[in-house]
Amino acid sequence: MFDEYLARRYRTTTRPKKEHYLVKDSAAIVGIGATEFSKDSGRSELQMVCEAVKAAVDDAGLQMEEIDGFVRFEMDYTDEMHICSSLGIPKLTYFAECGWGGGASCSTIVHAAAAIAAGVAECIVCYRGMNEASGRRYGRIPGTPSIMTAPRDHFGSILPFGHCTPPGWVAMFASRYLHEFDATAEDLAWVSVVCREHANRNPNAIFYDRPLTVQECVEARMIIEPLRLYDCCVDTDGAVAIIVASAEKAKKLKQKPAYIVGATQGNATEGELMTSYYRPVISGLPEAWYTGQELWRVTGAIPSDVNVAQFYDAFSPLIPMQLEEYGFCDRGKGMDFCRGGDRIRLGGELPCNTSGSHLSEAYLHGMNLIAEAVRQIRGTSTAQVKNAELSLVTGGLGIPTSAILLRN
């Protein structure tokens, strides 16, 4: 069942013909909007989402009435019905939702771009709003705990063992990854340090004015061994909205379009919600490999064509693991790629996570990473890669995932 993955040979015989991939260059990201990123927004998630959508519509130079589609996260506490009522959006002709937590981030763009290529809608909002830090939730009944996953998600078998939180679920993969490839906490620290360097250039980042050293990383308190404080993303209150429009419409709007060259999703068998421990290897992320292989296939691009990347980083070990799975280095070499930081920081071979990303900017389930990838194409990032032509974003890991490739 894992022959393809283990041999790193993607079987394309059962894939649709490349020329049938209508998404390529049919749509573009035309607007981005966000609230401030904070630890306590003081307002509802619905209010923040409306603010972010309004900002994205203004950014694009659209009229609110032109919005005709919405793609939401299954996990979001808001929905298009209430957003349309609040923002006075008269009608929608397309709405969809994407599953699997942060795995949904680039999936929203897959749906939007496919709907646009199919002629179902022309201007689609993809969004995420969360009071992850303060817990001021839309629709939440006070005094009740928020349940992260359904017991069924793990075939019910892990519940009696106190294995109950996302850092723990990912720590199990990380523990094995560090063991197999002989990596240390110091090696891992470079990932967090580089993300922090980029955040220190970004005034909107939660950790804008807080530098971070390797020493501080390895001495930080343990969250769940082997993950320490700065290996984990920063819980955030905020919202981000991304507007996808047809390429034809994009040309007439205010901003330089970030054209969608490819948008792909991937699932792999023997999966569970962040506890896929039963595969031949657990020091890799098969979903990410499939998503990447399909992305390279439909776009015709290869990893070395990419100028800048935003890798989903709920936890630091996921960056070296993705460098391997998306083909930027060989298996087991992701840690070498990150050590010392030179290859992944601004000016390096592949500048990664240039806004500070989840580890240091904000944790908005991947949507802030998409906004940063768009800024790189527009030339407006605070850690701008010169003449960035191809900009990669990836979705949440340890779950069915997604990725997009943007071009100028």
Partner 1 sequence: MVKLIEGIPIMRPYIDLDNQGYWDAVKNHKLVLQYCTKCNRFIHPPRPMCPTCRSQDTMEWKESSGKGILYSYVMFTSPKMAYPAYELPYAVVLVELEEGVRIVTNTHEIEPDEVQIGLPVEVMFEDLPDGQTVYRFKKREA
Binding site for partner 1 (CB under 8 A): 1, 151-152, 154-165, 167-168, 171-173, 175-176, 179, 221-226, 269, 275, 277-278, 282
**Residue 95 token pair:** 């709405």
User: Which one of 21, 138, 290, 363 is the catalytic residue?
Assistant: 363
**In angstroms, rounded to a whole number, what is the distance separating the alpha carbons of residues 150 and 38?**
28
Separation of alpha carbons 174 and 118, rounded Å: 41
Nearer to partner 1, 241 or 274 (CB): 274
User: Smallest distance from the beta carbon of 275 to partner 1, in angstroms?
Assistant: 7
- Residue 281 burial (CB < 10 Å; 0-12/13-18/19+)? middle
Compute φ and ψ for 178, nearest 5 degrees. Answer: -65, -40
Strands 237-246, 27-34: pairing is: antiparallel
C-alpha span between 359 and 234 (Å, rounded): 6
Query: Could you tell me the smallest distance in angstroms from the CB atom of residue 280 to partner 1?
Result: 10
- DSSP symbols for 32-45: EEE---BS---S-H
Q: Is 259 a residue of the active site?
A: no
Min CB(314)–partner 1 separation in Å: 14
Question: Is residue 312 among the annotated active site residues?
Answer: yes
Closest to partner 1 by CB, 20 vs 152, is 152
| Consecutive H or E run containing 342 | none
Burial zone of 164 (CB within 10 Å; 0-12 exposed, 13-18 middle, 19+ buried): exposed
Sheet holding 123-131, edge to edge: 94-98, 69-73, 123-131, 237-246, 27-34, 258-266, 401-407, 390-394, 308-310
Pick between residue 81 and residue 164 the one whose CB is nearest to partner 1: 164
Considering the complex, state which of residue 89 and residue 178 has its C-beta at the smaller distance from partner 1. 178
Least spacing, CB of residue 152 vs partner 1, in Å: 6
Residue 214 beta carbon to partner 1: minimum distance, rounded to whole angstroms: 21
Nearer to partner 1, 42 or 151 (CB): 151
- Token readout for 2 is 């894992």
Closest residue by Cα to residue 216 from 194, 183, 174, 186: 186
The residue annotated as part of the active site, out of 94, 127, 312, 326, is 312
Catalytic residues: 312, 363
